[in-house]
Amino acid sequence: MERIKLHKGDITKLKVDAIVNAANTTLLGGGGVDGAIHRAAGKELFEECRTLNGCPTGEAKITKGYSLPTKYVIHTVGPVWNGGKYKEENLLVNCYKNSLRLAVENKIKSIAFPAISTGVYRFPIELATKIAIREVKNFLNNNDTFEKVIFVCFDEGTYSNYKKILSA
């Protein structure tokens, strides 16, 4: 699984074909990684997002990267954690599957994911990380177009959690 990489830092700095945004259903920006991506991409990203008519939870939509070093941004909407009885796990699985599928359709060879739903949306970090790693591994097993999939961790706690689960 040497195509999977772990990186600690800011996803907006990465020069990859695509970065994934943990957006909300409006796709019109917000806080956390979404806010950072919109700030770094500039207002053209907001203008393109306005034309997309939002995005349901678990699905994904693609835009250009504008002032970011990345060519594309794949916007996906993670579930808000409400205790685990509202299909939160399935919806998070869908975020990874749909983002990766959209990447393949756009000939993307390198992609970086933030820890979707684990911030403002309160999804338990360990469960979210297991889902993220399992879904990416499954996808890579059936696909050889990706050269690199990077998990980007913004804080030490997230990083050490990914490190532990990746090496388990």
Residues of this chain that bind ligand AR6 (CB under 6 A): 10-12, 22-24, 30-34, 36, 78, 114-121, 152, 154-155, 158
Kindly tell me the sign of the dihedral angle through the C-alpha atoms of 135, 85, 120, 155: negative
Cβ proximity to ligand AR6, 103 vs 153, nearer residue: 153
Closest to ligand AR6 by CB, 32 vs 54, is 32
The Cβ-side half-sphere exposure at 55, using a 13 Å CA radius, reads: 29
CB nearer to ligand AR6: pick between 91 and 108: 91
Shortest distance (Å) from residue 88 CB to ligand AR6 = 12
Q: 156-166 and 125-141 are packed helices; what angle lies between their axes, rounded to 10 degrees?
A: 50
Nearest-CA neighbor of 72 among 39, 102, 36? 102
Q: Where are the beta strands (DSSP E) in the chain?
A: 4-8, 18-23, 60-64, 72-77, 110-113, 148-153
CB of 144 to ligand AR6, least distance (A): 27
* Nearest approach, Cβ of residue 121 and ligand AR6 (Å): 4
> Which of 26, 138 has the CB closer to ligand AR6?
26
Residue 158 beta carbon to ligand AR6: minimum distance, rounded to whole angstroms: 5
Any idea what DSSP says for residue 80? P
Identity of the residue, 145 or 155, whose beta carbon is nearer to ligand AR6 in the bound complex: 155
How far apart are CB 118 and ligand AR6 at their closest, in Å? 5
Q: How far is CA 86 from CA 12, 79, 113, in A?
A: 31, 9, 23
Nearest to 103 by CA among 128, 76, 134, 79: 76
